[in-house]
Structure 1
Amino acid sequence: MQETLRPRTVEEVRSAIEWAVASETPLALRGHGSKEAYGRPVRATHALELSGLSGIIDYEPAELVLTLRTGTPIAEVEALVAQNGQELSFEPMDLGPLLGLTEGAGSIGGVIAANLSGPRRIKAGAARDHILGCEAVSGRAEIFRAGGKVVKNVTGYDLPRALCGSFGTLAVATEVTLKVNPKPESSATFCLRGLGEAQGIAALCEAMGSSAEVSGAAHLPDGLEIGEGALTLLRLEGFPTSIDYRFDILLKRLGHLGTPERLGSDATAQVWRRIRDCQPLASGEAPVWKISVPPASGAAYVAALRNRFDVKVIHDWSGGLIWLRCEDGRHHADEIRAALAAVGGGHATLVRASAAERRDVPVFQPQPAALAALSARLKHQFDPVGILNPGRMVADVPAKVEKA
């Protein structure tokens, strides 16, 4: 059973890490616990819970800048910016449904630590593209600030981006500054039914190459609540007249593939939220993978795997992101990663699996030797004793745990 430390200020975080360094005690970092089952299990006798570091520090809607503590619930953040007609344009994914937890339970710090981004990434970029600055405590028990509160800030290394996707293995972020954007006035979805995977993904890629300014491009072979059969979906956002014009562009380019349908704003919000959170694959406990491949190769990649075992998938990011559930309950890590070579490479991350599987199987795509060595050096610079989330990303077990 872990003993939990609950700091409420950055100085208390620093003191906790200082103690952990001196005693070589590994710490499992936690916000609201919504992502504990994402990544390798952390072997630690103590947890550092950051939910007490919550609240908005500064919000300037006119400047499109938001500064807040990392333990702030993401649901609270999204509600605040929505009240001001704004949004987090990277559309942070909620892992709750996929991991069998309550929706909206995560914190903004967890979103940044995991670099969680939704369907709009193809247009707006990832979470790391929206972080302007941060305050954090390194594994050396040193408080540091990086970045600022302006979009262009090029002083020194881009440490805020480095912390995105590091899963708390480099430093404990206590405060972040994000850029926000005006929320689109309206939205609609161009929908085609019944296309095969290859044809559907080809349609997505053609749309992305057009002037339609698509903000979401997904293909679901197994359909969604809005109807049976395969769905090829293209989201349009902006002013109503602009959406009408761009819908006609898609109609002219893709209308010959079937009978297009138009989903209004409410249906669009519902469908893309389900795609964002991978809800069509959330039921059950079968392993789920997040796989990045060249967009045009998505159909061929999935077809190769279907020849070996049964899968259900969602194609997002115009085919470049594949959410894949192994229907037989096995993780199939070797086959999934071996098949990447045939489509020009890619990355496969095991998002949902049992603790035993996440301990034995590389959860994240193994890095080439040179990149792995660089990552190890970066880790050592930030956390030389190895106390921050040891083993979360790679199998580096802290010395004290091994001796115990």
Structure 2
Amino acid sequence: MLIGLGGVTAALLVGGSAFYAALTFAVDRTLDNEALASAHEVAALVDAGQLPNPVPVSGAQVVQVVDAEHRVVGGSVTADRLTPLLRRDELATALAGAAVVVPGSRAALSTPLRVRAVTAGPADARVSVLVALPVGDVLASRAALRRGLLIVFPLVLAVMAAVAWRVIGSTLRPVEQLRADAERISGASRAERLAVPAASDEVRALAVTLNSMLDRLAAARARQRSFVADAAHELRSPLTSIRTQLEVAERLGEGGSLPAELLLDVERLTRLVEDLLLLARVDADTRGPARRDLVEVAGLLAVVAADHTGSRVPLRVRCEGSPQVVGDRDELRRAVKNLVDNAVRHAGSAVELAGFVEHHQVRIVVLDDGPGLSTDERERVFERFTRLDDARGRSQGGTGLGLPIARELVARAGGTLTLTDAPPPWSLQAVVALPVAAAE
């Protein structure tokens, strides 16, 4: 819009200047033609030796006849008989063919005069015929035109800007609606699509095309989820069978230490399959948890702590007050358990699990004294199958899905999960922020 208004402004300036210049030239030419016509008539009378005294004129013309000595030798009733209208230098300019504007006071008038001059008479007695026309009205009209242009042009620009703003805004409103809808839609569900405008224009075609693209993306994601879920589901049965056979072999003492070693790998595969199934279910349902339990945070932390009895480092639990949150109890337990598992896996000597209320939010914090993470790594670990230390992660059973699953489950409960610096002696803390349950 600014570019368009800039172009219109330039066009108006050029057009207005050209119009003003053309009008000025036309009026000046008309005045000069009239003055020169009268001057030639008077010159013809001088050449014929029939110059009357006073010289007859039409309208408000002022006529003077000046000799070579710059003396007034004739003129109209409206002219001064003693003082010429033009000085010597001005007379030379006028005789060269240019118009000269002089003050009206030289002819006892209140308006300026535009003077043209021609020569007449025999060669040995040449005189100059001066014809002046009052141009006060013309100058006033020009001033009024300039003021009008200076007032009208800004008003025209203001009106055009308002109209352009209105038109462009109404034109882009459907585009903004498409953008807002696209930002809102996750692309995982076919139920949510862009609103198609009623007008049959390019924006409608864009909306239809984007909806088709979203359908294709949703179908591709559905096929991907289905593949992951089916593959994970099909892997459960053979893994269960292998685990059973290995446990039997271990009890019977067959195979030496091989069954125990293979059981660790089977356990890791089983956790991976369960994580894949959970992610497939979470991705397939974008509406949030179906169950909405009132969860006591203290009880939730106690259950998670009980699951980690006898872990490689001690786990301390601290809960301030009796905060409550709303969400799926099993999903929240799984999310906190994944965070504690990760902290226990990397802690140096201890892990702390705390719950409290801060800024109208329930915060569940898992602290550990491990090596910590850099600022860049704290967001990368939430990407699926990400291991910052492959050797450490594999040897200790990490799948690279624990933190992504925890963040997905916390988000389904309406909360956030972040990794931040921890106060000494801790090195890193995972902070879960959930809305406080309403009093009722």
Q: TM-score range by the shorter chain?
A: under 0.3
More strand by share: 1
Using CA pairs below 8 Å that are at least 6 residues apart, which structure has the higher relative contact order? 1
Per residue, is there more helix in 1 or in 2?
2
Q: Normalising by structure 2, report the TM-score.
A: 0.16
TM-score normalised by the chain length of structure 1 = 0.18
